[in-house]
Chains A and B, each alone.
Chain A
Amino acid sequence: MNTIDTGDVLPAPLPGLGSMDVVARAGNTMTLSMGPQHPSTHGVLQVVVEIAGEIVERLEMEIGYLHTGIEKSAENLFWTQAGTVIERMDYLNPLGNAMCYVLAVERLLGITDRIPERAKDIRILMCELSRVASHCVWLGTGGIDLGAISTFFYSFDIREDILDLIEDSGGARMHPNYLRIGGVNGDLPAGFIAKLDALIEKFPKRMRELRTLLQNNPILRDRMIDVGVITPEQAVAWNLSGPALRGSGIAYDVRKAFPYGGYEKYEFDVPVRSEGDAYARFLVRLDEMDESMRIVAAVRKALDEPGPVMVDDPKIAQPPKETIALSMEALIHHFKIVSESFRVPPGDVYQAIESPRGELGYYLVSNGNNRPYRVRTRPPSMYNLQALKAMAPGNLIADIVVMIGSLDPVFGEVDR
């Protein structure tokens, strides 16, 4: 007998909701349930489709299978600790999530202008590398969805190099908690720049190979062109953002529209396509990877300048470890920050960044305590995925897989 926390007895699970089971038949149509353990959903998504023959007539989705209550957890942690759980929302772009959160807290604290240049550069470097790594996963798994196995290995090779860099700088491959309120946790280690240079040099060749394998591949083009078309009107009505919006011909990029964290210093283009189909979104993401590496190469030049990587404010920045045994003030500040964090002036703020999936936003409310009062995420994956309801009707059921892949949802973020 299943019981939940409240002591209630769960009713029997709904009959016939396994993977690809027929739920109901009526007249000409049939209702199918795909998932939640369907491999092509890149996570746990249940899609219930009503089909007539092979054509989708109506589509509904069930999400929440990966809900972990991250917002509630963050509201019960210190300001300095919340970043660790927030990084776990979009697990393909942990540094982007951290970036958005620390920028929002810095606005509340009023220290945005005091962040050292080098810290800003390192943050941008990390965000852009994460974007490339995230797009690599999308490219690899998206290729597998369509039967192209080898691209997976080529793209994960790039991702592996980037994860090595992230591990070198932050100590962990996936969730390093490297970006901190006020800067970054320590300068880049010795040997980092050499590895970065090697990646910058290797990347164009790898990208050419990937494009040769995929971009003009007739099978891939047949599967993607004119599939899952979104008009600009639909894109705006369904609140799309990121590559999904730019694939429909609207050049909205948060990095350009509301420059944050030092992006105004760097030059890059925003790839836009007007077709609005899965292939357009595919090309936008490929071009974005090149643009990201352009930013990375520019940041690499700026990194030759040494400098501080943390804001000069002992109430917010932890003192360097070696001073703790020597200075009483350093010891006290260290103890205070670790044991009770700091207080943030009351107020609310909405901060957005351009994550690989679109506009990622945090609406933070502080009531003056040492914990966030409210952490509301604007999850780009969730809104992008929701548009599948508008996109799928009229398409073939086999193309649902292509459409989900072209929206690139991450379920850690959809469900949080």
Chain B
Amino acid sequence: MPSSQNPSIAPLALDPTALRPPIDDAEIVRVAPAELLAKLAALKAEGYSLLLDVGAVDYLEREPRYDVVYHLLALPLAAASVAEVGTPRRLRVLCGVGAEAPEVPTASALWPSADWAEREIFDFFGIRFAGHPNLRRIQMPYDWVGHPLRKDYPLRGPAREATPRPPFALKSNVPAGAPPSGKVAAALQKQIARARGQEPAGGSTDGEKT
């Protein structure tokens, strides 16, 4: 969001994920939508038992436009003590999806917990999950138009974005065109005089004796 106080020093990154080696505990894998399901199934068989989260990012000008992000955790099933859990491996799977009719296969057959997360991505980004049992909006009202977390969706919604914000004067409780009372200016004058150690001419009117 450009503004006068925010001059662009360096050009903004189109694909931030490609610019930096991982700085967290996770290993990062990138797959194409066509291989996604096979890859996730293989990872699950390999021991990544927990699908921690499914999220999405809209990169708008990048090709492919969206990233669907899977966070996996290799949590052992029988681990009754902290030592047995140890430090489980973390993995992040990034799957790029194009802007035209974005669609990826659902992971809800592998992990039932993907259900709500995928519905949320559909709701917020309009990415469809092929084979999802119940793909409908989850957070926004069911008759909402548009996908609000897309970067081209305005912050205040398309309808309000079309109407300008009311000017400051309209929010005031003083009717427009009312003549200035002069009270504020007088009080300010008095305050300045007092700070300079001079009593205003005509004496104190507020009954205050200092």
Contact = CB atoms under 8 A, between A and B. Distances in A.
Contacts of A117: none
Interface string A1-31: 0001111101100000000000000000000
B159 interface: yes
B157 A368 contact: no
Interface in A79-107: 107
Contact of B16 (A71, A361, A365): A365
B27 to A, nearest CB: 11
Given A63-B138, A257-B88, A339-B5, A369 B80 contact: no
B63 interface: no
Given A258-B25, A386-B115, A367 B139 contact: no
Interface residues of A, number: 67
Interface stretch (A146-154, A185-193, A208-216, A375-383): A375-383
Contact of B85 (A5, A256, A351): A256
A199 interface: no
B33 interface: no
A392 B160 CA distance: 42
Nearest to B160: A5
A69 B12 contact: no
Contacts of B19: 346-347
B50 to A, nearest CB: 6
A139 B158 CA distance: 43
Contacts of B95: none
Contacts of A340: 5-6
Contact of B155 (A76, A348, A373, A390): A76
B159 A348 contact: no
A257 B17 contact: no
B52 A366 contact: no
B128 interface: no
A114 interface: no
Interface of B: 1, 5-6, 9-14, 16-17, 19-20, 23-26, 49-53, 55-58, 69, 71, 75-82, 84-88, 90, 92, 111-113, 115-117, 137-141, 143-146, 148-149, 155, 157-160
A262 B122 CA distance: 38
A204 interface: no
Interface stretch (A126-134, A170-178, A234-242, A275-283): A234-242
Contact of A6 (B57, B71, B85, B145): B145
Contacts of A415: 139
Interface stretch (A222-230, A247-255, A313-321): A247-255
A374 B85 contact: no
A407 interface: no
Contacts of A71: 149
B16 A366 contact: yes
A270 interface: yes
Contact of B159 (A5, A76, A232): A5
Contacts of A233: 77
Nearest to A386: B116
A359 B52 contact: yes
Contact of A363 (B53, B112, B137, B159): B53
B57 A365 contact: yes
B82 to A, nearest CB: 5
Contact of B75 (A252, A366, A389): A252
A251 B143 CA distance: 42
A336 to B, nearest CB: 9
B79 A251 contact: yes
A7 B116 CA distance: 28
A376 B57 contact: yes
A236 B49 contact: yes
A48 B137 CA distance: 17
Given A6-B145, A250-B75, A363 B13 contact: no
